Amino acid sequence: MGRCMYTSVDSLIVDGDQWAEDVADPSTHSRWTEISTTRIHGRLSSDTIMWCANLKGVFPLKLEWDSIRARRDPVAWYKLVWFPYSQTRFSFIVWLAIVGRFTTKSRLAAWGLATDTTCPLCNTGNEDLNHLFFKSPFSNHIWQRVLLLNGFALPALLSWPNVVQWTTNHFTGDSLLNKVRRFSFSVMVYRIWSERNSRIFKQQESSFEKVLCQIIGDTRGRFSGSVAVAPDSSATRDFFHRWRIKVQFTLQRPSFHSWLRPPSNCMAINCDGSVMDGRGGYGAMACDRMGRVIFAIAGGFRDTNIMRMELEAIRCGLRRANSLGCPRIHVQSDSLCAIQMIKGSFHTPWHCLELLEDILCLKEKFSCCTFAHVAREANFCADFLASFLHSDQEILLSTNCLPPALACLVGEDARGRRYQRL
């Protein structure tokens, strides 16, 4: 205090470890009596300089920052905002949106600073975060097109927090593909907010097509400066072809998968759902550690929602295990979304809420009940059962008389066969 704000630390220290002469500061002098009577001042006879070096004997600035900041657990969405290839101007705007610091018209009206809350993008709804991202027809159209470029259909999301959660679950990852998705999301939020500001403060209006072209151009330009490398697959090639981003494709190493044996004194229940020819099916098979079949269930529905079928398979497997009095079970499914819903890390659509509630209630009936995502190659038996029936019924197969194809798959799993995935 009492010094120039641009004074360097080096100029304040003399003889290596002594503060330079104090500069009179009126505000400190007027309250010195109050300061000198505090407990902290009574413990210290004078100011002391302490350089706390790290293990290498270096005092980095990061160490000083860590000593004065309040540390908290990382938020779930931080990798959506800050990641390799991110740009500060885009990431900062996304961060402001996520923490709710945008000065929207509705927010200004709540402060008594505005009366008109009409959205400048569509001139219909009240401008708040939920409307801007993405209830406004203008921004919703852009969101839909960006999702299609990233390989997704438009999800039924009701609010901006739901959008952030969904994007965090689907766009995070270390692959180049997911980095493009995250970057395009941050550019989209930035460009929509910029278009909103341009219409309000400059009275300049751009079309939906122009804003979308800006988003595509920014994304393409960020990843076209150098030759990027991505694993070769048809899905990856289609993705980068849609974005018109040139990448160098490399052949993936094959991975091998086998049936995941349950822990001792535990039963594995493999579950799967399918939709084919306008009908849904589900299947669940339980085996012990040696691969011996305890039960096998196949069912069919006039339902074409694959997620409902995946959850129905898990529910029917849990019901059967509970009726048999099995205390410890390990549920396996090749649907990552279904497992994430059960674990609470994925937004559950309204049409799946009843099934999820039943599954969570059944889970409490076991002394130990765990859920795991497995590769499709490790779930062939449940996959067979999911497409076994073509009628609206559920059947319990005899473990002593399984269909030959299913019995063959069970034997391969019990022997530990490894299936190759390219």
Q: How far is 72 from 341, CA to CA, in rounded Å?
A: 26
Residue 163: its H or E element:
helix 160-171
pLDDT by residue (tens digit) across 36-88?
A: 777 666 666 666 656 665 666 677 777 777 777 777 888 889 999 999 899 99
- Cα(90)–Cα(221) distance, integer angstroms: 14
Instruction: Give me the pLDDT at residue 62, please.
Output: 75
349 has a pLDDT exceeding 70: yes
Query: Could you give the 3-state DSSP secondary structure of residue 72?
Result: coil
Please report how the helices 353-363 and 336-343 are oriented relative to each other, as an axis angle in degrees rounded to 10.
60
Give pLDDT tens digits for 273-285: 998 888 899 999 9
Q: For residues 405 and 409, give the distance between their C-alpha atoms in angstroms, rounded to a whole number.
A: 6
- What is the pLDDT at residue 201? 94
pLDDT, position 21: 61
Q: In 10 A of CB 378, how many CB atoms?
A: 21
- Predicted local confidence at residue 173, as pLDDT: 83
384 with 281: CB under 8 angstroms?
no
Q: What is the mean pLDDT of residues 381-389?
A: 94
Residue 3, pLDDT above cutoff 70: no
What is the CATH architecture of 267-421? 2-Layer Sandwich (3.30)
What pLDDT shows up at residue 34?
A: 77
What pLDDT score does 314 carry?
97
**What's the CA gap between 282 and 62, in Å, rounded?**
54
DSSP label of 352: G
DSSP per residue over 235-268, as a string?
A: HHHHHHHHHT--EEEEPPPPEEE---PPPTT-EE
Helix, strand, coil percent content, the chain, rounded in steps of 5: 45, 15, 40
Residue 33: predicted pLDDT: 77
Sign of CA dihedral 63, 67, 68, 70: positive
> For 409-415, what is the mean pLDDT?
95
pLDDT at 96 over 80: yes
DSSP 318-348: HHHHHHTT--EEEEEES-HHHHHHHHT-SPP
Could you write out the three-class secondary structure of 3-56? CCCCCCHHHHEECCCEECCCCCCHHHHHCHHHHHCCHHHHHCCCCCCCCCCCCC
**pLDDT score at 364:** 95
Question: 170, 152 in Cβ contact below 8 A?
Answer: yes
Name, in order, each residue with C-beta under 8 angstroms of 85's C-beta and a sequence gap of 6 or more.
179, 183, 222, 223
Q: Report the distance separating Cα 366 and Cα 133, nearest Å.
A: 42
**Does the pLDDT of residue 223 top 80, yes or no?**
yes
Q: What is the pLDDT of residue 213?
A: 96
- In percent, the amount of the chain with pLDDT more than 70 equals 88
Mean pLDDT of the chain: 87
Are 213 and 207 within 8 A, CB to CB?
Answer: no
Q: Which residues pair with 18 in a beta bridge?
A: 14
Which whole number is the average pLDDT over 341-366?
90
Q: Is the per-residue pLDDT at 350 higher than 90?
A: no
What share of the chain in percent tops pLDDT 90? 61
Are 87 and 222 within 8 A, CB to CB? yes
168 Rama sector, left if φ>0, alpha if ψ -120 to 50, beta otherwise: alpha
- The residues pairing with 360 across neighbouring beta strands, listed in sequence order, are none
At residue 231, the pLDDT reads 85
- Among candidates 72, 108, 414, 89, which has minimal Cα distance to 261? 414
pLDDT, residue 9, reads 65
User: Hey, what are 204's tokens?
Assistant: 């300049």
Domain ranges in the chain with CATH number 3.30.420.10? 267-421
Q: Chain-centre distance of CA 347, in angstroms? A: 10
What pLDDT score was predicted for residue 222? Answer: 92
Measured CA angle at 355 (ends 300, 285), to 5 deg? 50
Query: At a CB cut-off of 8 Å and minimum separation 6, what does 58 contact?
Result: none
Q: Is the pLDDT at 137 greater than 90, yes or no?
A: yes
Q: What pLDDT was estimated at residue 50?
A: 60
Residue 267 has which token pair? 């039963």
Number of alpha carbons in the 13 Å side-chain half-sphere of residue 418: 6
pLDDT computed for residue 420 by the predictor: 85
Q: What is the dihedral of CA 178, 182, 183, 186, to 10 degrees?
A: 170
**Does pLDDT of 191 surpass 80?**
yes
Digit-coded pLDDT (tens) for 285-336: 999 999 999 999 999 988 778 899 999 999 999 999 999 999 999 999 999 9
Residue 17, pLDDT score: 62
